[in-house]
Amino acid sequence: MAPKSLTPEEALQRRWGYSAFKPLQRKAVEAALSGRDCLVVLPTGGGKSLCYQLPAAMGRGLVLVVSPLIALMDDQVAAAREAGVAADSLHSNLESGRRGEAYRRLAAGKTEILYVSPERLLMGDLLEDLAPRLVLAAVDEAHCVSHWGHEFRPEYRRLAEILERVPKAARMALTATATPAVQEDVCAQLALRDPARFIGHPDRANLIYRAFPRRDQLSQVLSVLRRHPGEGGIVYAQTRKDVERLAGAIAAEGISCAPYHAGLPAEDRRRAQDDFVNERLDVVAATIAFGMGIDRSNVRCVLHANTPRSVEHYQQESGRAGRDGLPAECVLLFAASDLAAHRGLALKDGPLAPERQRALERQLRDIGRYGVAPVCRHRLLAEHFGAAYPPDGKEHQEGGCQACDVCLGETKSLPAEEAMLTAKKVLSGAWRAEGRFGTGYVVNLLLGRADERMRRGGHDALQVFGILKESGEAAVRSWIDQLIVQGFLEVAEEREYPLLRITETGKTLCRNEGSVRLGVPAPPAARAKRKPKALRAVSAGVPVDEDLFDRLRRLRRLIADKTGVPPYVVFHDSALVEMAALKPLTLDALRQVKGVGERKLERYGAAFLDVIAGTPPESAATTLKN
């Protein structure tokens, strides 16, 4: 094992094989080393774990990590051990033999980092033993402490009280998604003492965001998945029934896919999760029950077949794509009816208190706007979390981020005048239908498709009849959704079915007061069919040998099977991509690849060099040291 008196940079290089810190990591490490409390908000993939693992690796004392993700702890321990840090965990899922070992190592003062579940810590007996050596108490997923957050956990509220017993240890609260209000709440609830705040920019530059109106859910889902053959993907759907239907239909297309939702037997869920993490399964179709415990870093697409509940949920769920920093794609299929379904669910037990009701409406409005506004989606997300976009204070370049459907020209914004004219046509259709009909009726009216009911009411003689015939049903439906989200139309659930109505603001707009934005999805044929530039090249501009990449991936799978850790713990895709481009031939050259630390070099280096030199992965794997 490496000597203890390392500088942070040396520890980073030797243990993890990284030559530079990611933004704010160094500051967080420094705060921890100097005993200062801090709040760390970094997006997924921003490198939060290193902020507390590194002080542990520097041998300054014991680091305690409180994490609600029991399912992940084993992987985190494995990953820390791969970097040569003496890691253990204590939680209710641990088998007794391993628990005994963990206690023995702890008592012998050998443990450098200890992961515990909040429940385990709250039992209260641990801290007496830990106190003398404890230098840092890190609370991961710290947004769980806040009512304002999206995953409130009551047991987190008691953490401050228990941490009082180790006043000398610095506290570090970490989270990926926190609006400024949640950040405040986290500091207060965890009783951080004059904390340093390290708030990273929330943007995930490697993600391509797309939001399209939902038309034919299955074919839209399939067209995204087909862009990612053999790669990891998650398809989120609203209900268990949707999940089953989609999983079946995706699998029927020959794509390796399993369903996951809370109604399935525990054994099926465990297998789906295990297979996905270990890359034996490409796609999981799931409700949002799936994902909390998933750390697979090479998920290349996250697709929402239904609109999520809030932007926070969307950021969290879509954030599971591309943790390794390589390009990945997040697609949302939007329908305003999903928002009505969320509202219905929230209100199913009766009306909410006014404050909660307002919060709900705000959440639905924000995610609705994200789903339809013809505005750069990276910008919308950043601004939602209180950050400016682009991150570095530069002007938005011509062509925008080049990483969302709007900036890529797949969704076009109508020029202001045309948007106004179009909106007025749609609104007058709804106005003339007098709020007595559903969306389908108004769509037919605008498209000039008369049925018996319409003729009886004389609506086929109205001026608005067929006024948007040329635009087609998909566009008209999408415009109605866009106008709902902007508050010009509303859906009223008065009778047994929802009725579409013009609002007062909508009437005002018809008098040319106010402004409106409308987007139109470009026809599918015009959209980018190309695969995201995932494995095309690495930073040095050297082309990646994709065939070699596949062989390296096979070797990684064999090693993972042999050692019982997930493939991404052995090496991330980013390290394999770099190997497949630079093709290092010596251990020294291999050491230069990002993510190759001393321990991994020693254990796996020779096998990877063999494969780079042309040995089949299956033979290379036989030479591995245990």
Q: How far is the CB of 241 from ligand ADP (least distance, A)?
A: 32
The interface mask with ligand ADP, positions 46-85, x = CB under 6 A, is xxxxx-----------------------------------
Binding flag, residue 527, ligand ADP (CB under 6 A): no
d(CA 624, CA 284): 32
Least distance between ligand ADP and beta carbon 368 (Å): 28
Cα–Cα distance measured from residue 205 to residue 456, given in angstroms and rounded to the nearest whole number: 55
Strand partners, 283: 233, 257
Site string for ligand ADP, 104-123 (x = CB under 6 A): --------------------
Q: What angle do CA 561, 567, 572 make, to 5 degrees?
A: 155
Pattern 550-579, ligand ADP, x by CB under 6 A: ----------------------x-------
Q: What are phi and psi of 485, to 5 degrees?
A: -60, -35
Residue 8 touches ligand ADP, criterion: CB under 6 A:
no
- Which range in 37-45, 116-124, 254-262, 337-345 contacts ligand ADP by CB under 6 A? 37-45
Q: Which stretch binds ligand ADP (CB under 6 A): 44-52, 91-99, 247-255, 530-538?
A: 44-52
Q: How far is the CB of 51 from ligand ADP (least distance, A)?
A: 8
Nearest distance, CB of residue 25 and ligand ADP, angstroms: 6
How many residues sit in the footprint of ligand ADP (CB under 6 A)? 17
d(CA 565, CA 560): 5
Q: Does 594 bind ligand ADP (CB under 6 A)?
A: yes
Minimum Å distance from CB 11 to ligand ADP? 11
3 state SS of 126:
helix
Among 18-26, 151-159, 248-256, 444-452, the segment contacting ligand ADP (CB under 6 A):
18-26
Is 613 within 8 Å of 548 (Cβ atoms)?
Answer: no
- How far, rounded to the nearest angstrom, does the alpha carbon of residue 608 sit from its chain's CA centroid? 31
Give me the sign of the Cα torsion angle 200, 201, 205, 206: positive
Neighbours of 216 (CB within 10 A): 11
Q: Which of the ranges 40-48, 282-290, 546-554, 608-616 carries the binding residues for ligand ADP, by CB under 6 A?
A: 40-48
Is 432 a residue that touches ligand ADP (CB under 6 A)?
A: no
Which tokens go with 297? 């870093």
Q: Which two tokens stand for residue 93?
A: 């899922």
Alpha helices in 348-412 (DSSP H): 354-372, 377-384
| Site membership for ligand ADP, residue 45 (CB under 6 A) | yes
Task: Tell me the one-letter amino acid at 326.
Answer: L
Compute the least distance from the CB of residue 477 to ligand ADP, in Å.
37
- Could you say which of 29, 32, 42, 246 contacts ligand ADP (CB under 6 A)? 42
The residue with tokens 């590194």 is 54
Residue of 22, 27, 271, 527 that binds ligand ADP (CB under 6 A): 22
By CB under 6 A, the residues from 120 to 139 that bind ligand ADP are: none
Least distance in angstroms from the C-beta of 218 to ligand ADP: 31
Q: How far apart are CA 90 and CA 120, in angstroms?
A: 7
Closer CB to ligand ADP, 117 or 439, in the complex: 117
- The one segment of 16-24, 307-315, 336-344, 441-449 that binds ligand ADP by CB under 6 A: 16-24
Q: How far apart are CA 342 and CA 358, in angstroms?
A: 14
For every residue of 6-17, DSSP letters joined together read --HHHHIIIII-
DSSP secondary structure code for residue 293 in this structure:
T
3-state secondary structure 231-276: CEEEEECCCHHHHHHHHHHHHHCCCCEEEECCCCCHHHHHHHHHHH
Residues 433-492 that bind ligand ADP (CB under 6 A): none
Tell me whether residue 46 or residue 519 sits nearer to ligand ADP (CB atom): 46
The distance of closest approach from Cβ of residue 172 to ligand ADP in the complex, given in angstroms and rounded to an integer, is 13
Q: Does the bond joining 390 to the residue before it have cis omega, within 30 degrees of 0?
A: yes
DSSP state letter for 468: T
- Specify which residues 213 forms β-bridges with: 334
Span near ligand ADP by CB under 6 A; candidates 21-29, 341-349, 476-484, 612-620: 21-29
Distance of closest approach, residue 63 Cβ to ligand ADP, in angstroms: 14
**Which residues lie closer than 8 Å to 617 by C-beta, 6 or more apart?**
551, 552, 554, 555, 558, 611
DSSP string, 571-621: --HHHHHHHHHH---SHHHHHTSTT--HHHHHHHHHHHHHHHTT--HHHHH
Decide: 214 and 337 in contact? Cβ < 8 Å: no
- Work out how close the CB of 476 gets to ligand ADP at its nearest, in angstroms, rounded to a whole number: 41
Nearest distance in Å: CB 234, ligand ADP: 16
**Pattern of binders to ligand ADP over 240-279, x per CB under 6 A?**
----------------------------------------
Which is it for the CA torsion 212, 217, 219, 223, positive or negative?
positive
By CB under 6 A, name the one of 179, 217, 273, 297 that touches ligand ADP. Answer: 297
Binding to ligand ADP by CB under 6 A, coded x per residue (else -) over 390-419, reads ------------------------------
To ligand ADP, the closest distance from the beta carbon of 22 in angstroms equals 4
Q: Which of 171, 204, 210, 323 binds ligand ADP (CB under 6 A)?
A: 323
The region of 39-47, 104-112, 372-380, 490-498 touching ligand ADP under the rule CB under 6 A is 39-47
Count of C-beta atoms within a 10 Å radius of residue 492: 10
How many CA atoms lie within 13 Å of 150's alpha carbon, on the beta-carbon side? 19
Q: What does the DSSP assignment read for 486-550? A: TTSEEEE--SSS-EEEE-HHHHHHHTT-S----EEEPPGGGS--SPPSTTTB-TT-PBP-HHHHH
* H or E segment and range at residue 62: strand 62-66
Q: Which of the residues 340 through 359 are near ligand ADP (CB under 6 A)?
A: none
Q: Largest Cα–Cα distance in the chain?
A: 88
Residue with tokens 């990449």: 549
| Residue 330 beta carbon to ligand ADP: minimum distance, rounded to whole angstroms | 15
Name the residue with tokens 């291999």.
590
CB nearer to ligand ADP: give 232 or 519. 232
Name which of 47 and 55 has its Cβ closer to ligand ADP. 47
**Contact at 8 Å (CB) between 473 and 443?**
yes
15, 39, 44, 247: residue in contact with ligand ADP (rule CB under 6 A): 44
Give CA–CA dist 183/168, Å, rounded: 23
Chosen residue from 13, 18, 137, 177 binding ligand ADP by CB under 6 A? 18
The residue of the chain with the least Cβ separation from ligand ADP equals: 47
- Residue 22 or 240: the one with the smaller Cβ distance to ligand ADP is 22
What is the closest distance, in whole angstroms, from the C-beta atom of residue 42 to ligand ADP in the complex? Answer: 5
Give the torsion through C-alpha atoms of 220, 222, 225, 229, to 10 deg: -150
Contacting positions for ligand ADP (CB under 6 A): 18, 21-22, 25, 42, 44-50, 297, 323-324, 572, 594
